[in-house]
Each structure stands twice: as C-alpha cells, then as structure tokens.
A and B are shown apart, each in its own frame.
Chain A
C-alpha cells in the first residue's frame, strides 16, 4: 500500500465544526441517514484486524493456566527484557533521527524542483515504494550487497583492500540493523515531510527579503519555526515505524533476539524454553504502551503542525 500525504482541507475550508457538519449533511443527500454509516465497513475492519487481536494479545499477558496473574507483567523487569526494550528504543530513536535529517535534506533539495516536475514525481513515487520495502527482501538485499560475500564487500576488499568486517560480522548483530532501517526510514520521511515543506509560501520569503531579512534569517525565524511541528511529527512517525519492524531484523539477526519483536517471537516459538507464551502478551503490552505514548505525542504535535497547512 502506498502512503498518501496528509489530507489537505479543500481551499477555503475552515476548522469550524458547524461548518463541516453543515457541509456533510448537505452532501449526504439522504435525510435521516447519518454519514457515519459509511464508516461502518472500515470500523468493522479495524475492530476485527486491529482492536480484537490487540486485546487478545495484551490479555494473554495477564493469563496463566490457573487464571489471572501478574507474573508475566512483572517479568518485564527482567534485566534481559529491560535491555531489549532499551535496544529497541535506542535503535528506533537513532534511525528515526538519522532518517529524519537525511529525509528533510532531501525534501529541501526537492524544493528546487517545480511542483509538477518529472524528477520530483519520480522521487515521490520511488519513496512510496521504498518506504514499504522491508522484511526478508530488504534483509536479503543487504546480505547480497554488504554481506560477508556481498558484491560491495568483495569489491572494497579486492580493489581497495578495505575489510569492512575486520572487527567481526557486525551486519548480523544490532549495529547491522541500522543501515537497513535507515533505508526505509528516509523515504518515509520524504513522503510525510514533503507536503509540509511545500506548504512554505514563497510570499513569506519575499516579505522577509523586502523587509531587509537574509536567507539565513528566513530559515531561522520563519522556515524552521513553521516546520518544527511537522518535523517532530514525522520524527515520531519514523520512531514508531522502526519500533514495530520485525521481519527485517528476524531475517538478519538470528542470535540474541536483541529487540522486542524478536523476544516476542522467542517467547511464542521457542522449543528450548517452554511455557513462556504468555510472556509474549506482556511484551506486547510493553510495546503498546511505548506506541501509545508515541502516537499520543504525534497527535498533539500534528494538530499544531496542521495550522500551517491551510
């Protein structure tokens, strides 16, 4: 699926709720049939495939063979689990920050291209695809290029005598996840941040210049403050994106289960440590909490960011 840019209100629309309801009732045309009926299929879909599984998963964290228990949730305090959460949060934060900065620079570069130019359309289309390029495909692409026998690895070694694995095969540990994650974070940043960047009005720059301001001054006093909420919102989105990624890591790092989704896999499928299925539910609860905080912040920041996109 592709990600669309945040929906922009039609020109001239305002936030006034009364106005919106007036419009929607006019549009529905069936007196007495609330527009909300149109939401039912989607709501049903969300309930079946998101809400229910989440409730089951989290609920299993409080279940044991003899009913309700808090043991699994208390097991979250285990040093191994704590360090796993730290790894997950650290990796997500690092790749989100790097991805956001690189993505924002790419957006800035694309401002020079016209709104409808072909190269800009190409970058946007490519970003839409690459932001979703993850999992086993991505892992294998990295193994084939910078794995121990990868094309790039061998080329560097044979041509320049550079051995990127002099200190061991880091690509299959936690550090090795950084590059693949950035690979899908940057395009996601471009998709989410470009609309905000494009919303900077040329009139503002002109006003700034005609009032004697400088280019640097424009970015410092106008561009950055206006973009800051959007940037922060995109950053949080990138964090959540990395935090919940599973398949890429599962295919690359088979030892140690360094991040939370891999620990969940271990708890569910292990044939050497049995009876830990319910710990998976507790781990999921931990992930839900982190995600809820992230998405809550996102909603707050997004509301502020939306002010400039009208």
Chain B
C-alpha cells in the first residue's frame, strides 16, 4: 500500500519530537533506580568540602559507578582524549556518551525528558545563551580551582562556569586560496562558491558568532547584527556563499574550502587536510566560551562533580589546549607555569580587542536573525 509509505514519512518529520518523548516515557515505567538512592549530600554538595576530601569524592563517584555525558563530539576541542583519560583514571566509572551531535538546546530537553531516570545527563556543556536561560536545571558547584577562573566567565554561585573558548576564525585550504586579510576579501571572484559557515545562525552558536564577527568587522557593534547579515547577503549575491552543512568530510573532500568557525574547530581540520590554515582577522575579534553545568537532578551526582573537578584540573585544561581551544584557567596557569607552553604558542594570535555579546544582545540578535536571515541568504 503506497499510503503507508507516506504516513511513515509524514509522521517522521512531525512525530520526531513527540515520538521521542513518548517512547522514552513509556520506557520510564519499567526503569528502576539502579542500586541505592543517590546520597542526598552528593546531590546538594557545592564543593569538595561537602564530601570531605578529594579521595572521598572519588570514592562516592566510584560507588555510583556511572556517568552520563551528552553532546560531546570526540573531535570537538579534543573531547575524545579527555573522555579516554577519565575512563583510564576511573575504570570503575562507566561513561555513557549520549547524542554527541545535538545542540545545547537539546541537552536541556534531554534533561527534561529523562528527568528522574538513570538515563538523564549528569553534566552539560552549553553555549552561553542556553546556559543563561536554563539555570533552573543546574546545581551550583564550585571546583577546587574556582579562584583561577575569571569572574566574567562564571556565574557567581557556580551554577554554570566557562570551560573553554576560542575566537571566531576563518579556516581555508591554503593550497587553493590566499589567506583572507579582511572580511571584504571574501567578496572577490577568487572565492567563488567557496565560503561556508558552520551551521545556520538561527540554530547554531558557531554560525551565530560568524554573523557577529562579520558585524564587528564591518564596523558595526553587537547591539545590531544587521551589518553582519548584510555582509553575508552580499557574499551570497556575489555567488561566493556555500550553504552546505560543514563537516570534516566536506573539508577533507574540498567541498567547503573556506569556513567560518571557532578557531579550535578549524584547527582540528588540519589533521585531515594538512594545507588547512586558520586566520583570525585583525581588528575586533569575537570570542565565545562554552560552559559547564551539573544537572540538578543528575542520576550520578558524585560522578558529575568528580567530572567537573577533573575538567578544571591542570591536566585536562592542557588537553583542551591541545585541541586548539583556550581553557578558562589559561591566564592563571601561565602565571603558575603549569600551562603547556608549546601548545599555547601554537595557538593563532589573539586579536587586540575582543567582544562577547551580553544576554540582551544575544536575544535581540536571535530575533533579528529569525526575521531576516532566511531572506538574506536565499
């Protein structure tokens, strides 16, 4: 019957969300709490002191024996190596890596949908916009190295804390293209059908930042993203804009030879394409930090807190650095001499002046993009 095929596809699009929640909730009935109920003190602990010593925290986490992480692609900021190191150090704690490719918004949805289940994510890694709006889901926690983290990059109660960041950059295949020195270079005929953004700015943080960078590089400010939208409209009209979804595969095959993305993600492409170079334009730069948070209803509250301590230790901060990202404790570690200097020197040079949008600016820009982006690039 042809009708069944239609039904299948029609429902696929619209039932996606509903079906997921339905299926998950129907499993919920049969899901039993693993082992004992989590110790309440772990769920309300706001620092190591609440456990006693670091060894006590480790013991509590090992007793739980599991950790659920979500939205951590293994090729993103070196997360693969970080996860492997945790598994090696704590073989008693089995890590479940859920949905590596979902967006920040979907991480929070996963916490909502799986609330009260063993499958709920224990920890989040979120873009700032989502972190600011989702504080109801977070448990406050201050890691041992809390004082090393710049005040501007942490929520004062430790509800969420910046973890690693970078600058919006342009990656390009140096075997085919010259290095762009200014934004307007990309409008030239040399870059015909070559310039892509990693994602759609109405959906993805990195793409949103690309429009932000185009805004400040065009002489605008973050109160109004219109100059950035106008730039990409010009780029599109010049026939230079590529609208395919950027992946490691498209970079490797040469389908996307010039890409706007975070510098640490662009740097990671060098592994698959040795000619891949990363440029951070002179003038004003656009920075963005991702943020760590602990799920308030984490099924493994001690393991979640151990993961946080682990991430903010010197070793793992250096692993993020190895992935081309700038760890949040970088300044303090440079002063203390614990930074891996060779890795730090390999980073592209930071711009003289850096902007980060406020919550209000982000919201306004989101609304503006929602109204104008699709028309600008069609």
Q: Interface of A with B (CB < 8 Å)? A: 1, 3-4, 6-7, 48-50, 52-54, 56-58, 60, 80, 83-84, 131-132, 143, 147-149, 165-169, 171-174, 188, 191-192, 237, 240-241, 243-246, 250-258, 261, 264-266, 268-275, 277, 280, 284, 287-288, 291, 295
Are B12 and A273 closer than 8 Å at their CB atoms?
no
Are A4 and B1 closer than 8 Å at their CB atoms?
yes
| B233-258 interface code vs A (CB 8 A; 1 in, 0 out) | 00010011111111000100111000
Are A143 and B202 closer than 8 Å at their CB atoms?
no
Contacts of A241 in B (CB 8 A): 5-6, 9
Chain B interface residue count, CB cutoff 8 Å, equals: 68
| B111-144 interface code vs A (CB 8 A; 1 in, 0 out) | 0000000000000000101100100000000000
Query: Is the C-beta of B301 less than 8 angstroms from some C-beta in chain A?
Result: no
Q: How far is the CB of B121 from chain A (nearest CB, A)?
A: 15
Q: Which of A171, A188, A274, A287 is close to B14, meaning CB atoms less than 8 Å apart?
A: A287
Are A264 and B5 closer than 8 Å at their CB atoms?
no
Contacts of A237 in B (CB 8 A): 2-3, 6
Q: Which of B6, B109, B130, B250 is close to A244, meaning CB atoms less than 8 Å apart?
A: B6
Contacts of A265 in B (CB 8 A): 203
Are B374 and A258 closer than 8 Å at their CB atoms?
yes
Query: Is the C-beta of B312 less than 8 angstroms from some C-beta in chain A?
Result: no
Contacts of B377 in A (CB 8 A): 255-256
Query: Is the C-beta of B19 less than 8 angstroms from some C-beta in chain A?
Result: yes
Contacts of A83 in B (CB 8 A): 374-375
Query: Is the C-beta of B34 less than 8 angstroms from some C-beta in chain A?
Result: no
A132's nearest neighbour on chain B, judged by CB, is B5
- Bound Cα distance from A258 to B373, whole angstroms: 11
Which residues of chain B (267-298) have a CB below 8 Å from chain A?
none
- Bound Cα distance from A250 to B130, whole angstroms: 23
Q: How far is the CB of A261 from chain B (nearest CB, A)?
A: 4
Which residues of chain B (1-42) have a CB below 8 Å from chain A?
1-19, 21-22
A80-B371 CB under 8 A given contacts A57-B17, A241-B5, A272-B203:
yes
Chain A-chain B contacts (Cβ-Cβ < 8 Å), number: 204
A262's nearest neighbour on chain B, judged by CB, is B200
A272-B193 CB under 8 A given contacts A172-B243, A251-B245:
no
- Bound Cα distance from A166 to B16, whole angstroms: 38
Are B11 and A254 closer than 8 Å at their CB atoms?
no
B19's nearest neighbour on chain A, judged by CB, is A53
Are B22 and A271 closer than 8 Å at their CB atoms?
no
- Bound Cα distance from A143 to B240, whole angstroms: 17
Could you pull out 17 A-B pairs where Cβ atoms are within 8 angstroms? A4-B1, A49-B11, A49-B15, A52-B18, A149-B254, A169-B193, A169-B241, A172-B242, A237-B6, A241-B5, A251-B245, A269-B203, A270-B366, A271-B127, A271-B204, A273-B369, A275-B133
Query: Is the C-beta of B378 less than 8 angstroms from some C-beta in chain A?
Result: yes
Knowing that A168-B240, A256-B243, A271-B204 touch, tell me 20 more A-B residue pairs with CB under 8 angstroms: A1-B8, A3-B1, A49-B19, A53-B11, A53-B18, A56-B21, A83-B375, A169-B243, A172-B242, A241-B6, A245-B9, A251-B245, A254-B244, A257-B203, A268-B17, A268-B109, A273-B203, A274-B130, A274-B133, A295-B6
Query: Is the C-beta of B264 less than 8 angstroms from some C-beta in chain A?
Result: no
Q: Which of B3, B17, B243, B362 is close to A254, meaning CB atoms less than 8 Å apart?
A: B243
A272-B11 CB under 8 A given contacts A3-B2, A241-B6, A256-B373:
no
Are A240 and B367 closer than 8 Å at their CB atoms?
no
Are A288 and B2 closer than 8 Å at their CB atoms?
no
Are A271 and B5 closer than 8 Å at their CB atoms?
no
Are B5 and A172 closer than 8 Å at their CB atoms?
no
A149-B370 CB under 8 A given contacts A244-B9, A272-B204, A274-B129:
no
Interface centre among A84, A254, A265 (most CB of B within 10 A): A254
Q: Which of B17, B208, B243 is close to A255, meaning CB atoms less than 8 Å apart?
A: B243
A268's nearest neighbour on chain B, judged by CB, is B17
Q: Which of B14, B19, B374 is close to A80, meaning CB atoms less than 8 Å apart?
A: B374
Are B201 and A272 closer than 8 Å at their CB atoms?
yes
Contacts of B133 in A (CB 8 A): 274-275
Contacts of B9 in A (CB 8 A): 241, 244-246
- Bound Cα distance from A264 to B203, whole angstroms: 11
Are A167 and B239 closer than 8 Å at their CB atoms?
yes
- Listed from nearest, the 10 A-B pairs whose CB atoms lie closest are A168-B239, A53-B15, A56-B18, A284-B14, A53-B18, A172-B243, A254-B245, A244-B10, A255-B243, A271-B104
Are B193 and A273 closer than 8 Å at their CB atoms?
no
Contacts of A84 in B (CB 8 A): 374
Which residues of chain B (349-378) have a CB below 8 Å from chain A?
362, 365-367, 369-371, 373-375, 377-378
- Bound Cα distance from A80 to B207, whole angstroms: 19
Q: How far is the CB of A148 from chain B (nearest CB, A)?
A: 6
- Bound Cα distance from A66 to B102, whole angstroms: 27
Contacts of A60 in B (CB 8 A): 17-18
Are B19 and A269 closer than 8 Å at their CB atoms?
no
Interface centre among B1, B106, B109, B243 (most CB of A within 10 A): B243
B367's nearest neighbour on chain A, judged by CB, is A273
Q: How far is the CB of B309 from chain A (nearest CB, A)?
A: 26
B378's nearest neighbour on chain A, judged by CB, is A256
Q: Which of B13, B103, B193, B373 is close to A148, meaning CB atoms less than 8 Å apart?
A: B193
Q: How far is the CB of A158 from chain B (nearest CB, A)?
A: 15
| B187-206 interface code vs A (CB 8 A; 1 in, 0 out) | 00000110001011111110
